[in-house]
Each structure stands twice: as structure tokens, then as C-alpha cells.
Chain A
Amino acid sequence: AQTVTQSQPEMSVQEAETVTLSCTYDTSESDYYLFWYKQPPSRQMILVIRQEAYKQQNATENRFSVNFQKAAKSFSLKISDSQLGDAAMYFCAYRSVQGAQKLVFGQGTRLTINP
């Protein structure tokens, strides 16, 4: 079974600075998807970024980018120019390409933005 680990329960960063959230995962599969979700206090789950394992190029969405290291099974999220609205819980998630498309989540990292 696949597992996802987020070893940083909490992180904080100064507004306008850069922060990196860590995620590692364990799988025996060669093809899969990885995701970062943001959950603000509203409880809504918002997709931040998605990475296909077969793509070597790291995904980027505006101020959000990932560092995908397939051999190391590492998938970190970098947030540049942090804004107050980035404050939220962030979840890393894994999904197989086969089967029932189930998501496996990490424990989450609570990100605080200091003004």
C-alpha cells in the first residue's frame, strides 16, 4: 500500500518570503500522480498543483512550484512571495493511475503567514 508522509506539522513564513513544504511517499508503482491541496479555514479543499510521475519537468502554477525527485520519492511544494491568503493547511496526496483513483493523503502542514 502507498503511504504519504508530511514531517512538518506546522510552518511559518514572513509575508513576501519563500517557504518550502516537504512531502515524501512510498510506492512500488512507476506511474502515478501527486498533488498538493490547500485547505483554508473555510474547510474547502482546493487543488494547488498536480504532477504526473512520468513527466520529468516540475509543475508550476504561478507562485507555486514543486520539486519532484522521483528516485528519492520526494515531492516538495515551494511558495514564492508568500501572501496572507496562503495561510492554510496543505496536504500532499498520491494517486495511482490504475484502479479506483483513490487519493492517499499525508498528515498535513499548517502554514502561517506572518505580516
Chain B
Amino acid sequence: DAGITQSPRHKVTETGTPVTLRCHQTENHRYMYWYRQDPGHGLRLIHYSYGVKDTDKGEVSDGYSVSRSKTEDFLLTLESATSSQTSVYFCAISDYRVGYTFGSGTRLTVV
């Protein structure tokens, strides 16, 4: 997608290990978001950021932390991955005029 990239695209990890997902934007947007997608739940907000070092919790934040040390990068960390965190993770940026732009998603499997 134009202006936003997520990495990695797929990841398999073991229970109890730390995992970091990266979201990078080239649009200089203030707002960035992490969502998770699960069957029967749609997309649910994990954390969001409204500026460098400014973050807040979303609906399903337990077990996740985030950091934003630069405008362009928003990191999502699972400190100790659990099987319940197996999901597809989407990063998004928001511009009031254009709306949301989503990354291509990361499929994370915790075994």
C-alpha cells in the first residue's frame, strides 16, 4: 500500500518468546494504529499513537506494548507470546482528509 509497510508478513514463534512487529510510514501522518483480526470479531484496536512517544491503549491491549520513537515507525511488541495472540495484525495510518490506509498485514502464529 502507498506509504505504509509492515514487517514481517508471516511469522511463526514459540510460546513465551518476545515478538516485535514493525510498521513504517512515509506519509508523516500523526495517527498510527495496530489492530488484530480474528474470525467472528472483525478488527479490534490494540494500541494507537497520536505522535512521537504518545500512545494509548485500545480495546484489546493486554499482553501488548508499543513504541513510537520516530514519526515514521510504530512498533508492536508481544513481551511473551501466547497461543491466544495467534492472529493477523494490521497497522494503519489515518489522514483526516483521505481516511485510513492499512498495511498488508502480518500473520502471526504462536505454537
User: Of residues A102, A105, A106, which shows the largest number of chain B Cβ atoms within 10 Å of its Cβ?
Assistant: A102
**Contact pick for B44, options A9, A101, A105, CB 8 Å:** A105
Residue of B nearest to A46 (CB): B102
The distance from the CB of A12 to the nearest CB of chain B, in whole angstroms, is 18
Residue A47 lies at the interface, judged by CB distance under 8 Å to chain B: yes
A62 to B38, CA, bound (A): 30
B40, A102: Cβ atoms closer than 8 Å? no
The distance from the CB of B70 to the nearest CB of chain A, in whole angstroms, is 19
Q: Count the A residues whose beta carbon is within 8 Å of the partner chain — how many? A: 19
A103, B41: Cβ atoms closer than 8 Å? no
Which residues does chain B contribute within 8 Å of A91, judged by CB atoms? 42-43
A91 to B33, CA, bound (A): 17
A103 to B100, CA, bound (A): 9
In the complex, per-residue mask of B64-88: 1 if CB is within 8 Å of any chain A CB, else 0: 0000000000000000000000001
Taking Cβ atoms with an 8 Å cutoff, the residues of B that contact A are 1, 31, 33, 35, 40-45, 48, 50, 56, 58, 88, 90, 92, 94, 96, 99-100, 102, 104-105, 107
